Amino acid sequence: MGRPKIAIDYNLVYKLAKRFATQEDIADIIGCSVRTLQRDTEFCRIFKKGKDQVFKNLRVSQYKHALKGNPTLLIWLGKQYLGQTDNKNEERPDNWTQTVTIYGMNKDSI
């Protein structure tokens, strides 16, 4: 004889998961342990479905903002999906040096 079975409201699970709630958050709201939820296959399916919806909505929102001209999102999406990088493979001679000047300071004042 074990503990009484917890009734899981799967509609609530989906609503919380699609609002970025963690399994810990949901367990706290339902009143059980995370492990109890993880043993429930229907919970796992519904939680994944809600989480997938969050990511889909996030991608769509980023895409819309990028198309409106948000340069940060355009660069990020280019790197994520188009394989673009900031790195240039420039060949520099072995004796190449770079001088950095910090105004108002010299190497003796550091």
The answer to whether residue 60 is domain-embedded is: yes
Instruction: Please count the structural domains in the chain.
Output: 1
Q: What's the confidence (pLDDT) of residue 81? A: 83
> What is the C-alpha to C-alpha distance for residues 32 and 81, in angstroms, rounded to an integer?
39
For 20, the domain range is: 10-85
For residue 30, the one-letter residue type is I
Q: Where are the alpha helices (DSSP H) in the chain?
A: 10-17, 23-30, 34-38, 41-67, 71-82
The answer to whether residue 98 is domain-embedded is: no
Q: 64-92 burial string, b = 16+ CB within 10 Å, else e? A: eebeeeeeebbeebeeeeeeeeeeeeeee
pTM, whole model, 2 decimals?
A: 0.66
The pLDDT tens digits along the chain (110 residues) read 677 788 899 999 999 999 999 999 999 999 999 999 999 999 999 999 999 999 999 989 988 988 898 888 888 888 888 888 887 666 666 666 666 555 555 555 55
The answer to whether residue 41 is domain-embedded is: yes
